[in-house]
Amino acid sequence: MKNKKAVVYVRLKDGVLDPQGITIQRAISNMGYDMVKSVRSGRFFELEVEANDGGIERKVEEICGKLLANPVIENYQVEFEK
């Protein structure tokens, strides 16, 4: 059975404060790289999915909405590897 890889990116929504990103941006600036004006942090996940399972796109979306991302503060994006 061939597995397919789904890559999930989770990001904070626009307007949600990201103190971690702000702190990383300051560190970059302290390193001397003044051209970096802002940093937003996030997470990504790789899921190995059985490719012949019907409706995997919908199921992976469900997993993202219920578990991998918190829809109150985060957006997610799913990419399936060809």
Partner 1 sequence: MKFGVVTFPGSNCDYDAYAAVKLIGEDVEFLWHQSDDLKGSDVIILPGGFSYGDYLRSGAIARFSPIMKSVIKFANEGGLVIGICNGFQVLVESGLLPGALMRNEHLRFSCKYIHLRVENTAGPFTNECRPGEILKIPIAHKDGNYYNFQGDLEKLKAGKQILFRYCDKDGNITPESNPNGSMYNIAGITNEKGNIVGMMPHPERAVEEVLGSADGLKVFLSIRKYIMERVGVEKP
Residues that bind partner 1 (CB under 8 A): 16-17, 19-20, 23, 67-68, 70, 72-73
Tokens of 27: 């560190």
Cβ nearer to partner 1, comparing 48 with 82: 48
Cβ nearer to partner 1, comparing 24 with 49: 24
Shortest Cβ distance from residue 23 to partner 1 (Å)? 6
The answer to whether the beta carbons of residues 49 and 5 sit under 8 Å apart is yes
The answer to whether the beta carbons of residues 73 and 6 sit under 8 Å apart is no
Cβ nearer to partner 1, comparing 27 with 51: 27
CA pair distance 19, 62, nearest whole angstrom: 28
